[in-house]
Chains A and B, each alone.
Chain A
Amino acid sequence: MAAHEDRQEALAAYALGALDERDRPALEAHLLTCAGCRAALDELRLVTQGIALAVEPVAPPAGLRDRVLAQATLDVRDANNFVVETSDRVVSVRTTTTQLAPFWALTAAAGLVIAILSGAYAWRMNHALEASRSERAELEARLMLVTATDVTRVALAGQPDAPAASGRAYLSPSHGLVFTAQSLPALPSGRAYQLWIVTAKAPMSVGMLPVAPDGHVMVMMPMPAGMNAAMVAVAVTIEPEGGVPAPTGAKVLVGAVTPQ
């Protein structure tokens, strides 16, 4: 009952356009599902329209018409006089004329607005085009890499800390590497995933992985510099944000490099 009363009050205010901003979403949501309230609102809107029509017409003060006409006649007479008699007042008439005919100014302003808007539009389109070009270039680079003749494919399996995770790496000494993984668990703040290529001599850091909130990542990175021994494995570990020179944290993904 109380809710019904509240709603009646809200509907009345809504029809008047006076319902507080914070109360509007709830009422509008209710109106979508309640035919009764929609009908009530329609009736209240008729009232609102009635209020608009009910405004008392205000009678102009007596004598206004005469005063306006008298003033207008006076102005015309004045204008006729000063054009002929005084040159300084002609200047003021010209000024008035200019103010009354700003059509060229409006046209110019409209032209300027159109120019600015279309310029902005062109700029945005150009921007979008640039973005799609660079996306395409990146995709082509990845394609080149995974189809390179020297590519080695490595499947990575989730470790006890992330049993559901899996990954895949494409290692090409000539083109770099592409790494993808999914189902990587979210990390506490200050921790991040770091990718490694383990060689016969030492683990080499490839870089930090920009893992999306859904646990997915796909990156293309250069091969680690100074790699001078055979690749043995690819691994992902949990490290302090910013990375470390040699792995310290738990391994979450590991895959052995097998000659292909």
Chain B
Amino acid sequence: VRAALVQLPEEQRALIDLAYFEGLSQSEIAERTGAPLGTVKTRMRTAMHTLRSALAS
């Protein structure tokens, strides 16, 4: 997972950091980063699915 995290696009990794380590919700992340809520949701899903694939392989 660590390797996969490093390979994530910067904006997706930042998202995981904010959600997991800073405990922010999606709305709070959208507010903090200025990204639309829909974008935050999609990126978070993409990041989690990428990491899941990395874990499975």
Contacts and interface: CB of A to CB of B under 8 A. Distances in A.
Instruction: Answer whether A and B are interacting partners.
Output: yes
Interface of A: 8-10, 12-13, 15-21, 43-44, 46-48, 50-54, 56
Interface of B: 1-2, 5, 16, 19-20, 23-27, 29, 41-42, 44-45, 47-49, 51-52, 55
A58 to B, nearest CB: 13
Given A12-B48, A50-B55, A54-B1, A17 B23 contact: yes
A51 B27 contact: no
B1 to A, nearest CB: 3
A54 to B, nearest CB: 4
Given A9-B44, A53-B1, 8 more contacts: A13-B44, A15-B48, A16-B16, A16-B20, A21-B25, A47-B1, A51-B16, A54-B5
Contacts of B26: 13, 18-20
A12 B47 CA distance: 9
A50 B48 contact: no
Contacts, number: 66
The 5 closest A-B pairs by CB, nearest first: A50-B1, A18-B19, A54-B2, A12-B48, A12-B45
B48 A56 contact: no
Nearest to B18: A18
A21 to B, nearest CB: 7
Contacts of A56: 2
Contact of A18 (B1, B25, B49, B51): B25
A86 B49 CA distance: 67
A47 B52 CA distance: 6
A20 B25 contact: yes
Given A44-B52, A46-B55, A51-B51, A17 B2 contact: no
B44 to A, nearest CB: 5
Contacts of B25: 13, 18-21
Most chain B CB within 10 A, of A8, A16, A20, A52, is at: A16
Contacts of A52: 20
Given A17-B19, A20-B26, A47 B48 contact: yes
Nearest to A51: B20
Contacts of B1: 47, 50-51, 53-54
Most chain A CB within 10 A, of B5, B16, B20, B42, is at: B20
10 contacts: A9-B41, A13-B19, A13-B44, A13-B45, A16-B16, A46-B52, A46-B55, A51-B1, A51-B20, A51-B51
Contacts of B44: 9, 12-13, 16, 18
B50 to A, nearest CB: 9
Contacts of B51: 47, 50-51
